[in-house]
Amino acid sequence: MKNKTINGKDISKKIRSELEEEVAALIEKGVKPGLAVILVGDDPASKTYVKSKQKSCREIGMESLLIELPSDTPEETLLAEITKLNENDAIHGILVQLPLPSHISEMKVIEKISPEKDVDGFHPINIGRMMTGQDTFLPCTPFGVMEMLKHTGIDPEGKHAVIIGRSNIVGKPMGQLLLRENATVTYCHSRTADMKSLTNQADILVAAVGKPKMITADYIKEGAVVIDVGINRDENGKLCGDVDFDDVKEKAAFITPVPGGVGPMTITMLLYNTVKSAKRTLN
Ligand code: GUN
């Protein structure tokens, strides 16, 4: 296999070193970019993600504030925390780690975050801005995928992009960003009839289903670009994606691994969005 793996770690490293310089320049001007992360409850996977986000912030010289709340936190308390952060000038980005406990409305929480600090790009105002092509914070995972394509020299224009998954966080915005770059976009999901007949037409296939190794070689067109957004555990507890990497790698022209593919890019784009938010305060 000759260099067909798209290495998210390497691309991330490059972008993060550029961000580190931007952070240093901002600090010179008296603005230290700050990200606040709110974690409700003690889901182990969420804890790991949040720690990784914090560490990444510090590594490039940004400020990182973690607010940990117990799983029985009333919705009102969480909303009040967000209001405080909206008003805190040292905080440029606010991220509430999802999923939230079932007694809290995720939409209410997302809508409480100031759109100007919504570095996840989940607020309906920012989603609207994205859909209409305005300058905004793009959702980090699909944004990261677009950067990976760009850095690999893959232009989506005129290509058939097939997305498996329709979540608000990944699938839906992924299609919009590919459409913006002039791809023809098809969405597949759990109710799609004859999914393979569609995925077999894909020049670019994005898998965001959350099912370990579901995408095998028979889903793939020869020479396709295969982007794996999944983070799952296989039957041995080992980290794996939605794509069966070993089965698909010979048939694909390019493929992203798990780990070391899309994952690092998601955090990198979160840092990018937070730096962007801090820069805006200078204007
Ligand atoms: N949970 C899983 N992915 C994400 C993400 O990108 N942002 C937030 N806030 N929560 C998540």
Q: Please, which contacts does 148-155 make with residues 24 or more away whose CB atoms are closer than 8 Å?
A: 148/6, 148/8, 148/11, 148/227, 148/256, 148/261, 148/262, 148/265, 149/204, 149/225, 149/227, 151/11, 151/14, 152/6, 152/254, 154/204, 154/225, 154/254, 155/181
Name the residue of 49, 112, 137 whose CB sits within 8 Å of the most ligand 1 atoms, as the mutation to test its pocket: 49
Q: Do the annotations mark residue 165 as ligand-binding?
A: yes
Nearest to 119 by CA among 141, 147, 151: 141
Q: Sketch out the chain's domains with CATH numbers.
A: 30-116 (3.40.50.10860), 140-263 (3.40.50.720)
Token pair for residue 275?
């730096």
Reported in sequence order, the residue ranges of 56-148 that DSSP labels E, i.e. its strands, are 63-69, 93-96
Nearest protein Cα to ligand 1, atom 9: 97
269 lines ligand 1 (CB under 6 A): no
Give the integer Cα–Cα distance in Å for 151 and 254. Answer: 12
**From 117, 118, 120, 228, the catalytic residue:** 120
Q: Is 162 in the pocket of ligand 1 (CB under 6 A)?
A: no
Alpha carbon of residue 55 to chain centroid: 17
97 within ligand 1 shell (Cβ under 6 A): yes
Return per-residue pLDDT of the chain as tens, 283 residues.
456 999 999 999 999 999 999 999 999 999 999 999 999 999 999 999 999 999 999 999 999 999 999 999 999 999 999 999 999 999 999 999 999 999 999 999 999 999 999 999 999 999 999 999 999 999 999 999 999 999 999 999 999 999 999 999 999 999 999 999 999 999 999 999 999 999 999 999 999 999 999 999 999 999 999 999 999 999 999 999 999 999 999 999 999 999 999 999 999 999 999 999 999 999 7
- In the annotation, is 53 catalytic? yes
**Cβ density class 216-234: b for 16+ within 10 Å, e for less:** eeebbbeebbbbbbbbbee
273 within ligand 1 shell (Cβ under 6 A): no
Ligand 1 atom having least distance to the Cα of 98: 10
Q: For ligand 1, say whether the CB of 98 is within 6 Å of any of its atoms.
A: yes
Question: Ligand 1 atom closest to Cα of 95?
Answer: 9
At 265, which helix (H) or strand (E)?
helix 262-280
Can 120 be counted among the known catalytic residues?
Answer: yes
Establish whether 167 is an annotated binding residue.
yes
Size (the chain), residues: 283
ipTM: 0.95
| Smallest CA separation from ligand 1 atom 11, residue | 98
Does the Cβ of 113 fall within 6 Å of ligand 1? no
